[in-house]
Structure 1
């Protein structure tokens, strides 16, 4: 059976992104405890590797995006995937902190080249219906944590952490191979491609870009902060452990359900409308988290609001950016938007921990997240209005 061009594109990107996010990001927390036990490093020293990767990835996002705008993303995704595999293998033999931190700086380059930004640039350029293709991709990638967290834990239990990394390194070769096999060759370079830097300079001055940057930065803080602290925050409410784990586990299925609904709606909705819904649900969910009594039903409602918002915002960051800011210079522009999220992503876990230490509880945290959610609502609305005004 011959696959259509859009199906090849969807499968190549979706499978590659699921594996890439799974091996280069999602499994990282699983390796902390065995590394502490064997190497005697502190948890801070181990987690500094991921923080370094986030910083390097953010700094590399714009040049990577500019390269994709000029030359296409097929080879970038392939070589990023292969670099990630090599670095996972190198991690498996790490004995010194210097080597460990150096390879994680390289991992930041691999993440910038192999993960979301270049992949979405390929989709926006090559797909006949980018919005629907991106939604289909996120439907598949929504299962990344569900698959790779238990897989990583099973590999560590069966093989030890070093051999588990070698197994993951072998798996990480697949995204590079899929990129070369399934993704289309980039179109011939157009004369306008030379204006990628000028397009970026023009874009960052636009109110729509500034609105999206503020929205995505606020959302990144909420997402990373909750990712690091949701379990202890819910435990502090006095919920049974089974309820805490259920609320956290519901995030993935609710995300996937929201993406499936969006896929079914197809062209009947705009990304601007979806973005308004997603940003509105965020402060609603955080307000429920702040005010709800410690009853499972209320906190499941919080999980629903936040997961739907988070699941849709993944699509908005890709398809909504193209709809609001256009496709010219898309790689560099989305890279610049990624830079705006670097500080919130790195600061959120530390700042929330400091709030907990200074107050003795997580009590103020949901209110901080409510405020950031409201900022995201206002910022996205401003970006959408600026786009509509420009369209007229």
Structure 2
């Protein structure tokens, strides 16, 4: 199977996978609330529970991929995603809604980036970093594609039928693609290609320390990104921007993610993976500092939105590339699971915590607190880069 076809196939499933799960509520939550009368706490609490469950099974899922291959897991993820969407769409009851999201929490871990990155490592070998970079280009389009599609479906046929349409996409499109393009993503493939590594993976205490520093960088970074992303429009509104201005700022984030990933593909060969990570994690505190120093003006807001999106785009690549260089391809799925667990757990809690923060203080103060977490994230990555500048 040509690698470009594998990447293209996985790219299509990533757009659908992210768009019908992680980004679904961004377009459907208001209609769900209006038609059911359910509280926001229930609607978004079920989503947070799904992210928490995804984090709790993350390490186990990584080990499963290492032993049994990415193909089996991603196919199972497609089936589970269809079941979760179908359950939410068929039974408009709070219990079914929560249960459906819990199923989707497992599906997200089985069929989105972590599983796809591990599968590419099993297939692409030494070319895994380039393959991961290309794959993230597709994933960056998920919100751009599915926010308007979800809104149109909700208006046209209602949100329950939109969820049933998502279930059909997972069975009709994603499942066959995973079965077709991942035939070479078999268990222990990473072990077979370990001899091809150009550097010796970290071992012992150095390995554990490096994993801890990188996991901390991801988790602290995730606190900021998940908080701001969940509240970007009301946050800009609270800073004095009009509604259309706030939406325009939010709209810049997606293209900036994709643009930064294209830049990494074109210029990334000149960067070591840890230096890419340093840039990725370092851009976020720079973006917040410029926003604050500019007095939260229109110009500084534009710069913030562009740098914020660029940072998010590069962090996704760094999450896959840095572990490959430091820890090797053997056991890569488990490594991704371990370092992702804290990030997924804080992603589940951060939006609610940031909402409480916004209700108890000003948007400016909330952003300053977020800036402190962003600085800490960058310092963790700087420490890792200093320890292991390979």
**Distance (Å, rounded) in 2 between the aligned partners of 1:278 and 1:10:** 23
Distance 1:261 1:216 in 2: 21
C-alpha contact (below 8 Å) 1:210/1:383 kept by paired residues: no
Which position in structure 1 is the counterpart of 2:386? 385
Partner of 1:376: 377
Alpha-carbon deviation of 1:250? Answer: 0.5
Q: Is the 8 A contact 2:253 2:305 kept in 1?
A: yes
Please identify, of 220-229 and 160-169, the stretch whose mean Cα deviation from structure 2 is larger: 160-169
In the other structure, the counterpart of 1:161 is 159
Q: Of 50, 54, 59, which residue of structure 2 is paired with 1:53? A: 50
Deviations 1:126-150 (A, max 9, x none): 1151111111111122111111010
Equivalence for 2:80? 83
| Residue pairs, 1:289-328, within 5 angstroms | 289-328=291-330
- Cα deviation code 1:34-84 (max 9, x no counterpart): 222332211111111101110111111111110100111011101111210
Distance 1:237 1:292 in 2: 13
- State the secondary structure of the residue aligned to 1:250: helix
Aligned residues: 380
Residue deviations 1:93-152 (CA, integer Å, cap 9, x gap): 223222221222111111111111111001122115111111111112211111101001
Instruction: State the SS of the aligned residue for 1:363.
Output: helix
Contact kept, 8 Å, 2:261 with 2:314, in 1: the verdict is: yes
Q: CA 1:302–1:162 in 2, change beyond 3 Å: closer, same or farther?
A: same
* 1:233-382 matches, cutoff 5 A: 233-359=235-361, 361-382=362-383
Q: 1:93 corresponds to which residue? A: 90
**Do 1:78 and 1:179's aligned partners in 2 also have CA atoms closer than 8 Å?**
yes
Change (3 A) 1:259 1:97: same
CA contact (8 A) 2:14 2:138 kept: no
- Describe the shift of the 1:266–1:236 C-alpha distance in structure 2 as closer, same or farther (beyond 3 A): closer
So what's the TM-score if we normalise by structure 2?
A: 0.92
Equivalents in 2 of 1:164, 1:203: separation in Å? 49
Task: Check the 8 A contact 2:15/2:138 in 1, yes or no.
Answer: yes
SS at match of 1:129: helix
CA contact (8 A) 2:90 2:164 kept: no
Unaligned runs of 5+ in 1: 194-198
Q: 1:186 aligns to what SS in structure 2? A: coil
Question: 2:182 maps to what in 1?
Answer: 183
Alignment RMSD? 2.2
> Residue 342 and residue 140 in structure 1: after superposition, are their counterparts in 2 closer, same or farther (change >3 A)?
closer
Aligned-residue offset at 1:212: 0.3
Is the 1:81–1:172 contact (alpha carbons within 8 Å) kept by the matching residues of 2?
A: yes
Q: Which moved more, 1:317-326 or 1:60-69?
A: 317-326
1:110 equivalent to 2:107? Answer yes
Change (3 A) 1:357 1:108: same
> Residue 74 of structure 1 aligns with which residue?
71
- Distance (Å, rounded) in 1 between the aligned partners of 2:356 and 2:203: 37
